[in-house]
Amino acid sequence: MLVNEVAKTLNIGPETVRFYTRIKLLQPQKNRFNGYREYDNKDINRLKFILAARQLGFSVDDIQQILADADKKRSPCPGVRRLLAKRLQETELRFREMQQLRKKMKKALAQWKQMPDMEPTGQMICHLIEEFTVPFTTEEK
């Protein structure tokens, strides 16, 4: 299969296929007559794995390590479990940070409802932001 056929089969853009080929996660054979890259079922399965791993939050570096282990016939599963636990922990932290940001945004909108619009001065750009105050919690310090 050619790049466009792979992309169509997996319902992704051709640039996605080219990207993973460029970084050598996919290594299709080159047709010796026309130089086109030809992807086989092994490449398709590998790309499906890559896409599934990305959906679970694994980084490209993570996937490279997982595939390197698999290519050496070593089970990547123990490492996958550790990596996913780490990614989950990072996601939980980002989630809490986003919840705090959401609270600040809501508070800002509530404060700004009754505030007038003002033109910038040499001392102030947008008084809404500059006058906005939220006491820091111990989580934010």
Cα 96 to its chain centre, rounded Å, is: 18
Whether pLDDT at 141 is above 50: no
Give the pLDDT confidence score for residue 4 in this predicted structure: 95
Give the pLDDT confidence score for residue 136 in this predicted structure: 58
Taking alpha carbons only, the member of 41, 48, 45 closest to residue 12 is 48
Dihedral sign (CA 8, 10, 13, 17): negative
Give the pLDDT confidence score for residue 139 in this predicted structure: 54
**Using H for helix, E for strand and C for coil, what is the string for 73-108?**
CCCCHHHHHHHHHHHHHHHHHHHHHHHHHHHHHHHH
Question: What percent of the chain stands above pLDDT 70?
Answer: 94
Name the region of 40 (left: φ>0; alpha: ψ -120 to 50; beta: rest): beta
The residues spanned by each domain of the chain are 3-130
pLDDT in tens, 40-96: 999 999 999 999 999 999 999 999 999 999 999 999 999 999 999 999 999 999 999
CB of 65 within 8 A of CB of 32? no
Architecture of domain 3-130: Orthogonal Bundle (1.10)
Per-residue pLDDT band for 131 (boundaries 50, 70, 90) equals: confident
